[in-house]
Amino acid sequence: MTVLGIDIGSRSIEVVAMDQGKVVEKRQAPTTFNPVAQLLALLDGLDAGLAVATGYGRKLVQDLDLGFPVETITEIKAHGLGAHHLFPAGRTVLDIGGQDTKALSLLPSGRVGKFEMNDRCAAGTGKFLEYTAQIFQIPVRDFGAYALGGDKPPIINSMCTVFAETEATSLMAQGVRPENIALGLHLSIARRTANMLSRVGLVLPLIFVGGVAHNPCMRQLLSEQTGAVIGETLFIPEEPDMTGALGAALWGESLEAS
Amino acid sequence: MTQEAYREMWENLNLDIAAHDGLLGVLGKFYGDIYMSQKGRLQGMEYLDFVLSEVHGLRIKELQDAKAQGRKIIGTFCVFVPEELALAVDAVQVGLCAGADAGKEAAETLVPRNTCALIKSFIGFKLARLCPYTESCDLIVGETTCDGKKKAYEAFSEHAPMYVMEVPQTKTESARALWKAEVLRYMARLEELTGRKVTAEKLAEAIKTVNARRRALQRLNRLRAAVPAPISGRDVLLINQVSFYDDPIRFTASINTLCDQLEERITAGEGVAPKDAPRVMLSGCPMAVPNWKLPYVIESSGAVIVGEESCIGTRNTRDLTDESGQTLEEMIDALCERYMKIDCACFTPNAERLDNVETMAKDLKVDGVIQYALMFCQPYAHEGIKVEKRLTAGGVPSMSLETDYSMEDIEQLKTRVEAFLETVK
């Protein structure tokens, strides 16, 4: 029987279909302001016996009449399960998504030990990068590569996204190279993130998941800040934004088995 | 009685009637969503539903009647203000409004923005003329349990008849001497206000009255520890909250009746939550009416709260006053002794709180502790770090949350609480 993992985040929706422990289908779409329509379009042609929903929209999925039962788990558990499945040796997970950053420690069994989550403010999340990339008129997907062109990052102190923009603008006015400002903005996230990781007791290997894990500059800075070596003690899935949906699907499989 | 019947009373108290109507509307809806929607509530809770529905009505009428008979109304914000002394001079002691986002903008003209929600709330309620309790008071007694409060009382005293007790910050001999001096100074102030003397006979009776209420709440806390939990944490929190403003004798009788029903329920093996529901203890800052946000989030996530290590919880009921004193002096000493056992985070050091939290978590067989701090509450935020270390060392999972009275972080809170429950089960 096919089991679906559905992750409705603030920026994107991911669906992973599993059958007998194997991923048979992966789909993704932006959340937009109509997540239900986006989800229904994503589910088109997919049949399942059970779905597990996670992310901010998990309750939304449960309230839809999809023709099969829908269980929910939090994105913290989902990312823990997904990350552990992909990299069983990993001991700490970092998920930087659209509006949330989460750090969690994994017990050797793969269960979540301690976790931390950013509160209220979107500082240090994908939203922060999206917002600041606009100052440079660069698409957010190219922002990391652009920032890697910097070599002397100024320290950006503002934790607030809007004030960070003000700070970046005033640095521009002082004649600081834009690539360096971009690097400085990335560095401010990497520092915050490293702090959050230390609060859950960072043990390597570290698994970096969520959409921001696509960003090459964040990967490099995170490696520098934590001492984790990419490919050895810092693992990044090929499709980091699918981890939550994968974890949800895995949970569905375990429910089915029990 | 209808709200119309109270309008004149509220007008006489100089409340902002339109804003107050709005507040009661919100409170009623909130109460309905959080309390009336619960399944399997005990009959005894009807008393609390009634008290809550009349929180700004009948109870205020009673206060006005008491005033008409020459009794004085004493308002307080803290478990350090000894109710025994107020009762001994035939005064009525009530807790004041401090649990909702009311008059925040006005409050921020008197205290800094980065002040905890509780302080902003009591000031806001006063400035916006929304709290019939505050408006009924002949004296409002503050205490120096944190910097935020003590500075706020300075500003508040320009708007209300304020009296401040100095609560010491250590438990040394000199601190105990200071506390006794403060208790005596407060007693003199009460005697001056009421024109009555505190006698050994009156104080003995008052000590018994307040102890009886503490015993009823202790009994409730013992009973709720049963598996499955026979009563929701939300309901017990409400009971603790109501204990601050209802008549103590009536309240004690009602809670004992409720406890009888709880015993029947326990014998029948009935619970409000399934046997295997995660058992959670709340620890930290007090939660004044209608601050029910976090308990609601926790219990609607499938857990049941089996203990509150809080001033609106066990910190207020754990210790009794010794009743064996014969002379006024002995009774005052017994009172001082009892109040100095309070393990408020304002004390340094405050090692007994760590012991109490750990013991309570183990006795209640909790699956986890959720530490609650009001944003900008330094003392509890500091102790949160220590408490977490102690609990972790003792093998008890815990999580710390900082929040206020607004609803903007409710989805975040739900995710954190659900994730925490996933890790403990």
pLDDT of B31-84, one tens digit each? 999 998 888 888 888 999 999 999 999 999 999 999 999 999 999 999 999 999
B402/A119 CB distance under 8 A: yes
B422/A117 CB distance under 8 A: no
B415/A119 CB distance under 8 A: no
B409/A74 CB distance under 8 A: no
Average pLDDT over residues B257-270: 96
Q: Which pTM does this prediction carry?
A: 0.94
- Closest-approach residue (CA) in chain A for B422: A77
B422/A113 CB distance under 8 A: no
Separation CA B224–CA B236 (nearest Å): 9
Average pLDDT over residues B316-333: 98
Q: Does B419 touch chain A (CB under 8 A)?
A: yes
B423/A112 CB distance under 8 A: yes
* A151/chain B closest Cα distance in angstroms: 37
B258 pLDDT above the threshold of 80? yes
Question: Contact at 8 Å (CB) between A150 and A184?
Answer: yes
Partners of residue A75 in chain B, C-beta under 8 Å: 415, 419
Residue B2 is predicted with a pLDDT of: 62
Partners of residue A120 in chain B, C-beta under 8 Å: 408-409, 412
Residue B1 is predicted with a pLDDT of: 45
Q: Does A77 touch chain B (CB under 8 A)?
A: yes
Separation CA B105–CA B127 (nearest Å): 10
H-type alpha helices, chain A? 35-43, 58-63, 75-86, 126-135, 140-147, 161-173, 178-199, 216-226, 243-257
DSSP B385-413: HHHHHHHHHTT--EEEEEE-S-STTHHHH
Average pLDDT over residues B326-347: 98
Residue A128 is predicted with a pLDDT of: 92
Chain segment B78-119, per-residue pLDDT in tens: 999 999 999 999 999 999 999 999 999 999 999 999 999 999
Q: Which candidate, B352, B98, B321, B313, places its Cα nearest to that of B224? A: B313
Average pLDDT over residues A87-101: 95
B422/A75 CB distance under 8 A: no
Percent of chain A beyond pLDDT 70? Answer: 100
Partners of residue A114 in chain B, C-beta under 8 Å: 423
Q: Looking at the partner chain, which of A111, A115, A119 has a beta carbon nearest the beta carbon of B412?
A: A119
Average pLDDT over residues A237-250: 98
How many alpha carbons lie under 13 Å from residue B177 in its C-beta half-sphere? 3
Residue B42 is predicted with a pLDDT of: 85
Chain segment B384-405, per-residue pLDDT in tens: 999 999 999 999 999 999 999 9
* A100/chain B closest Cα distance in angstroms: 9
Who contacts B158 (Cβ-Cβ below 8 Å, separation ≥6)? none
* B399/chain A closest Cα distance in angstroms: 8
Q: Is the ipTM of this complex over 0.85?
A: yes
Separation CA B92–CA B63 (nearest Å): 8
Residue B386 is predicted with a pLDDT of: 97
Who contacts B44 (Cβ-Cβ below 8 Å, separation ≥6)? B254, B257, B258, B261, B262
CA B77 to mean position of chain CA atoms:
8
In DSSP terms, A5 is beta-bridged to A16, A52
- Closest-approach residue (CA) in chain B for A111: B423
Q: Does B423 touch chain A (CB under 8 A)?
A: yes
Other CB atoms within 10 A of residue A224 CB: 12
Chain segment B4-24, per-residue pLDDT in tens: 889 999 999 999 999 999 999
- Closest-approach residue (CA) in chain B for A121: B409
Q: What token pair was written down for B266?
A: 């326990």
A122 pLDDT above the threshold of 90? no
Q: Looking at the partner chain, which of A74, A113, A114 has a beta carbon nearest the beta carbon of B415?
A: A74
Task: Compute the mean pLDDT over every residue in chain A, rounded to the nearest whole number.
Answer: 95
Q: Looking at the partner chain, which of A56, A113, A120 has a beta carbon nearest the beta carbon of B423?
A: A113
List the Cα angle B371/A57/B400 in 5-degree steps. Answer: 10
Residue A118 is predicted with a pLDDT of: 86
Which residues 107-136 of A have a C-beta within 8 angstroms of B?
111-115, 117, 119-120
Average pLDDT over residues B354-370: 98
B215 pLDDT above the threshold of 50? yes
Average pLDDT over residues A109-114: 92
Q: Does B409 touch chain A (CB under 8 A)?
A: yes
State which amino acid sits at residue B312: I
Inter-chain Cβ pairs, chain A and chain B, closer than 8 A = 34
If pLDDT is split at 50, 70 and 90, which confidence band does B425 have? confident
**Bigger pLDDT: B222 vs A123:** B222
Average pLDDT over residues A122-139: 90
H-type alpha helices, B57-172? 58-68, 83-88, 104-107, 117-127, 132-136, 147-156
A77/B422 CB distance under 8 A: yes
Chain segment B140-167, per-residue pLDDT in tens: 999 999 999 999 999 999 999 999 999 9
